[in-house]
Amino acid sequence: MIVIPAIDVMGGKAVRLTRGEREHATTYADHPHELAARFAAAGARRIHVVDLDGAFAGEPVATSVLQQIVEAARAGGAKVQTGGGIRDARTVHERIDAGVDQVVLGTLAVREPKLAESLCKRYPGRIIVATDARDGKVAVAGWQEDTDVPVAELAAAAQSWGAAAILYTDVARDGTQIGPAVAATAALQEEIAIPVYASGGVGSLADLDACAQAGIAGVVLGRALYEGAFTVEEALARC
């Protein structure tokens, strides 16, 4: 199981939200690229970056900050996967040209599945599809809008498009440290062949053990790292 530290950017700073709510933001670093360098130095080989302002605005906002993060991560031997506000092909092209290893599609995958499929085919191995779940259905537009699309349906479609992986986030758990949705994530992993990454709610090393034992391919780590529940080194040693 791979460990993927997360950096969420809002207002140019590294923050964590609770359940995706902007009014419940905690700032952890004024210079996000320094976190990327620290994570890479600790041994992380992949870093998950979200442009939160972009997710809410529906277009990229933190482009310059993202570039700094990519450069810092690559200098330390880590790759970057990023999402947030990526709603068209041009932005995907720009992200990859800027050195991002994988691009995460959420809203676009739901609203424009044909375009998402074409991007998966154009960039094999470099598109991740996010299934942000609220009560089993996909939430979009920075989790501000609910849809009638079942998580399993979107994941199966993404696999058929050629997506590299699925990012499964339980919106209700994100930023809470109450534990990830292990059973739901594992069930999704059993249904599809491509890797499924769990995100949201991890609060302890025991949570990582549970994910690994359930056969989940990877875990995105956020607030637990920032609050000192464990270190990147400890997480990597566990997985």
* Catalytic site positions: 8, 132
Query: Mind listing the pLDDT tens digit for each residue in 20-57?
Result: 888 889 999 999 999 999 999 999 999 999 999 999 99
Q: What does the pLDDT read at residue 20? A: 85
**R_g of the chain computed on alpha carbons:** 16
What residues contact residue 69 under an 8 Å CB cut-off, 6+ apart? 7, 9, 32, 33, 36, 47, 49, 80
The Cα 182–Cα 228 span in angstroms is 22
Closest residue by Cα to residue 48 from 11, 93, 101, 113? 101
Q: What average pLDDT does this structure show over 140-152?
A: 91
The end-to-end CA distance of the chain, in Å, is 6
pLDDT of residue 21: 87
Q: 174, 239, 184, 179: which is closest to 213 by C-alpha?
A: 239
pLDDT surpassing 90 at residue 90: yes
What's the pTM? 0.96
- Which pairs with CB-CB distance under 8 Å and at least 24 residues apart come from 114-117? 115/88, 115/89, 116/158, 116/161, 117/160, 117/161, 117/162
d(CA 179, CA 206): 9
Would you state the pLDDT for residue 22? 87
For residues 154 and 47, what is the distance between their CA atoms, to the nearest angstrom? 24
Q: 208 falls in which pLDDT band (50, 70, 90)?
A: very high
Beta bridge partners of 134: 137
